[in-house]
Structure 1
């Protein structure tokens, strides 16, 4: 820990925070900003007057960083240091340092618009430009204006345009903390590969056979790609002649993994053994894995896009931006000089990649955010003039208002309705909240709660449908899972949960039917929590 670059700047950081309400800290990859900033401010007494909140755009990061900080301070997780993510709160009245997703902090501000439990709010990883972080930027700007001067806001990021955020906060100071510790050699492909999975496999095995020790981090687009590559790597490593190279362990890393499997990547490998870590862009900035010397960058990422004219979401594999490519490369230089193998030519990086990632606010549905802002009921907030770092298009704001009007959340004047207020009490997409309210009126709440809980699970619960082939037909005969009786996925999800319910939630049933036990237990817990909220709403 002692060698984390940010610790050399402790005095400078504390001095700047004391003199200013808002400070932007640009900490490069591996500077230690996510784990150390909260501890620095804690050491200097900022937890005496309130809790330090540190937001993360991703659930996995909120949990793993909180776990790491609790370890470093030698306190039990959930007491002095805790975390809160949607549907899971590991904090107590003792908690002084609290890691939470940006979405959870937004929900907290509904019941406490001044957020006065917090003496410091740190918006971490702001360069990811998640929708919730962008809204929080606008809200904390307002709080800085109306709360007492001892309230502090820090915006931290790896490569964010610090000047832009500084201007947004009326010229607040920007501190730069260097992070990349060692040089990284960047190697480009001559051309784009036909299959980035095959190409990654080939490069990874070449490194393993030819290069000195050091772990290999491979960036893939999503869980499916990761699972394919992990099984191909395992096959290939087994086929290498014994004694021809060191041992290898292969770990997947993505948001749907159980926490105990995510944690494995933070433990050093056994002696004379190389780790292959096959990850989504979660390892780009949110999590730092020590020991990585080689990075393989496919050049792609999976991104959720929304089209206001069709009202449809799509999950598309798209090219990363230059900022993302540089973040990925930086992961190779943490412990010693490293190498980054880019599976695309230099010309593609130079000419085709966007400079920075498009902010989520400009490519997603804003219905939930607009409902949230309306339910705050703050006279000085006008949705169409809300202070965004990058304003969304008027088309997507109009689309959000239209959607909310269709589901009775706002009236023809744009004012929030009684139903809209009830909807905002539920930690769900507006359409799902509306479904529960309607189901409550029509006497099918129990079934609707099940479907909504199944849809809210972080994991894809339906077993993967294999390609139409002999194997597929055979697999269908083996599976005892209900098929939705011709009414589609929602009914299938309901029937699956009800089948599990009839076994008294037996984990063996999940395993026999190819369902993730952890995912199903999570659904059961979400359903229980939603049921409690609905009971409160009915009484209210």
Structure 2
């Protein structure tokens, strides 16, 4: 379907210039300037309005017919040129935007494009609730363009994950074509691909939060889309609270919040009853089959039991297709960790299940590997993914899902004062999101590797991150972003008072804040480091004590999962192979010894040699690489 483009607000500037050049009265001069003000970038509007008002006040005189001095005409010409320069930037973006937007007819959101565009025109905030596969992530930016947005300022589109931001930007640019696609930019940490032509900018929610520090009004944006708001990450809750206050100050800013059909009324209520538009997912009937993995007491090798259950589920799907005499799509398997993805991939390739292409999908996957997920293919695929494929990324061609029912979820313990990443059972909402990933191209099957009784006993929703994170880090981040006190911030759901008090207490002990809860100079330095406040304090103190090198290695190592791997089968041999890293006095110094040994080898070895070394010494190659990445980030911070 196609929708005509809204009439462009930017008028022909040549006419305004002619009016300015022959203006003989102060009123004509001011009118010619104000006519262009409606066409300048929103980021320039406040500054240019002040200049025009100042110029107008300087022209006030007792007699309107009083001749204007040469000096006033020079000031006018300079101001007119500045206004035109800003308006020209709007025209630059406008020329790239297609005259009409086209929407894929197979996506459910396309049928509601006109309705959503009208809601956006008539309301400052709109909540779009859509099932997975409805097309809301890729089509909403185009609907915003049809609503007349993207000319005087960018459309900002946030994603919870780096992988999603980059892949969605690529997808939208491809849909818009080679010319219009030039206006689609993206920004993730250490990688900014936006410029003067950008009218749509995909970014992680952390990038938008960081921009608040430099521009409290987010004046570069004419509209902001907060995607996947139901995930309720800390960054999303920060943005929703900040934007609730900002829209009261900026009536020209449009806000679109997208969510899976999970508790959307909370978002509407948070923004004073914002209208909700629902879009159904594109799906065929999905049959749910429960195939519980054997419990530990029934199997001495629980990891192997899960892998065997996955292989069995895939065999069941292949057999189903053989009986129906057709191949009805690819298979998506949800696993909690990268390590399990790698191990399962190895087992699947050894299982000789036929002509299957096994692909991994997780947040830190390299770009070339990511591209394979979306590339055209003839071979049937099995995609092994973390929960990044639950909502953020739509993998094309999926018709079957195998769900292990677990995910790695960050959780802070008030007792141990440690932020952990345990593997936990997912909520019913997450399980249903996973189920919604299949049945896209034919009748689908979702095989859950847990019992129906287990599913029914699970919580309905995943706790918002604000309720399961270290509040010290939250408070420090809020003070750095100048978002105010935790107690007064408009969170959708307030964190527990006990956790807030514990957070303040820890920050005072670390000398990050004063007793009156003001950020100290040390606290500012700690906030700049992307790690737990205690680790940040360790780094700053080590610099004074001339042991920064060692502590940097230790802190970066503690910030990731332990790269040393072993299980009940190989524990003894792993201990023997890793004995060379053992320090007699300190487990922390053992990390330093491991780092030094690996770094000495890395600098003169190929990647294949490093992988072989890691395998022989029971080390995770991916974790060792992540350790180096965190170390480098902290070194540059």
Shift of 1:366: 2.0
* Change over 3 Å in CA distance of 1:17–1:473 after alignment to 2: closer
Determine the C-alpha separation between the residues in 1 that align with 2:613 and 2:531.
Answer: 28
Q: Is the 8 A contact 2:159 2:204 kept in 1?
A: yes
Contact map agreement 1:180 1:330 (CA 8 A) in 2: no
Partner SS state of residue 333, structure 1: coil
- Once residues 191 and 553 of structure 2 are traced to their aligned partners in structure 1, the CA distance between those partners, rounded to angstroms, is 18
2:541 aligned partner = 438
Structure 2: gaps (5+ residues): 1-103, 296-304
**Deviations 1:69-108 (Å, cap 9, x if unpaired)?**
2332345999633333334433334433222222222222
Indicate how the Cα distance of structure 1 residues 438 and 51 shifts in structure 2: closer, same or farther if over 3 A, else same: farther
2:120–2:147 CA contact under 8 A, matched in 1: no
Whole-angstrom CA distance in 2 between matches of 1:376 and 1:333: 43
- Distance in 1 (CA, whole Å) between partners of 2:370 and 2:269 is 38
Give 2:316's match in structure 1, choosing from 206, 228, 233.
Answer: 206
From 357, 367, 392, the equivalent of 1:286 is 392
Provide the rounded CA distance (Å) in 2 between the counterparts of 1:527 and 1:78.
Answer: 36
- 1:447–1:494 contact (8 Å) kept in structure 2: no
Whether the aligned pair in 1 keeps the contact of 2:128 and 2:276 (CA below 8 Å) is yes
Q: Aligned residue for 2:613?
A: 513
Matches within 5 A, 1:70-469: 70-75=173-178, 80-147=183-250, 149-189=251-291, 193-194=294-295, 195-211=305-321, 212-213=326-327, 214-236=329-351, 238=352, 247-270=355-378, 273-350=379-456, 352-377=457-482, 381-449=484-552, 462=563, 464-465=565-566, 467=568, 469=570
What is the SS of the residue equivalent to 1:286?
A: coil
Q: The residue matched to 2:487 in structure 1 has which SS?
A: helix
1:164-193 CA distances to partner (integer Å, 9 max, x unpaired)?
A: 11111110111111123322122234x554
Counterparts of 2:265 and 2:549, CA distance in 1: 51
Which runs of no fewer than 5 residues in structure 1 stay unpaired?
241-245, 534-540
The alignment partner of 2:422 has SS state of strand
Q: Is the 8 A contact 1:79 1:92 kept in 2?
A: no
Structure-2 separation of matches of 1:433 and 1:308: 19
CA deviation vs aligned residue, 1:257-306 (integer Å, no higher than 9, x gap): 32222222222332xx3211121111111111121111112222222211
Cα distance in 2 for partners of 1:528, 1:251 equals 28
Question: In structure 2, what is the Cα distance between the partners aligned to 1:78 and 1:476?
Answer: 53
- Pair 1:509–1:227, CA change in 2 (3 A): closer
CA distance in 2: counterparts of 1:134 and 1:103, whole angstroms: 11
Deviation at 1:528, TM superposition (A): 5.8
Q: 1:298 to 1:532 in 2, by over 3 A?
A: closer
**1:538 matched residue in structure 2:** none
CA drift at 1:363: 1.1
Structure 1 counterpart of 2:64: none
- Quick one: distance in 2 between partners of 1:455 and 1:86? 22
For the 8 Å contact 2:330–2:382, the answer to whether it is kept is yes
SS at match of 2:282: coil
Tell me: CA distance 1:461–1:299, structure 2 relative to 1, closer, same or farther (3 Å): closer
Q: Counterparts of 1:449 and 1:94 in 2: how far apart (Å)?
A: 41
**In structure 1, C-alpha distance between the alignment counterparts of 2:612 and 2:583, rounded to whole Å:** 19
1:471-510 alignment runs, 5 A limit: 472=573, 476=577, 487-488=587-588, 490-492=591-593, 494-495=595-596, 498-499=599-600, 503=604, 507=607, 510=610
What is the CA distance between 1:340 and its match in structure 2?
1.2
Rg larger in structure: 2
The separation in 1 between residues aligned to 2:636 and 2:570, in whole angstroms, is 45
Q: Which residue pairs with 2:8 in the alignment?
A: none
Conserved 8 A contact 1:159-1:323 = no
Please give the secondary structure, in 2, of the residue aligned with 1:347.
helix
Q: How far, CA to CA, are the matches of 1:520 and 1:328 in structure 2?
A: 30
Measured against aligned partners, the alpha-carbon deviations of 1:176-215 in whole angstroms (never above 9, x if no partner) come to 11123322122234x5543433222211112123423121
Q: Contact 2:475–2:485 (CA<8 Å) still a contact in 1?
A: no
| Maintained 8 Å contact 1:303/1:318 | yes
Query: 2:262, 2:367 → 1: CA distance?
Result: 29
Aligned to 1:66: 169
- In the TM superposition, residue 332 of structure 1 has moved relative to its aligned partner by 0.9
Shift of 1:137: 0.9
Offset at residue 484 of structure 1 (A): 6.2
Mark the CA change 1:260 to 1:330 in structure 2 (over 3 Å): closer, same or farther.
same
1:309-341 Cα deviation digits (max 9, x unpaired): 220233322222121121111111222221112
User: Within 2, Cα distance between the matches of 1:500 and 1:118?
Assistant: 48
Distance 1:354 1:154 in 2: 28
The DSSP-based 3-state class of the residue aligned with 1:443 is: coil
> Which position in structure 2 is the counterpart of 1:41?
144
SS for the counterpart of 2:245 is helix
Query: 1:525 offset after TM fit, Å?
Result: 6.8
Q: 1:56, 1:125 within 8 Å by CA — same for their partners in 2?
A: yes
TM-score, normalization: structure 1? Answer: 0.85
1: CA distance, partners of 2:608 / 2:191: 25
SS in structure 1 of the partner of residue 198 of structure 2: coil
**Cα distance in 1, alignment partners of residues 108 and 239 from structure 2:** 28
Deviations 1:144-174 (A, max 9, x none): 1122x11111110112212111111110111
Q: Per the alignment, in what secondary structure is the counterpart of residue 287 of structure 2?
A: strand
The answer to whether the 8 Å contact 1:484/1:491 transfers is no
Is residue 52–residue 122 contact of structure 1 (8 Å, CA) maintained in 2?
yes
| Deviation per residue, 1:104-133 (Å, 9 max, x gap) | 222222232222222222111111111211
Q: 3-state SS of the aligned residue for 2:421? A: strand
Instruction: Find the aligned partners of 2:521 and 2:122 in 1 and give their Cα distance.
Output: 44
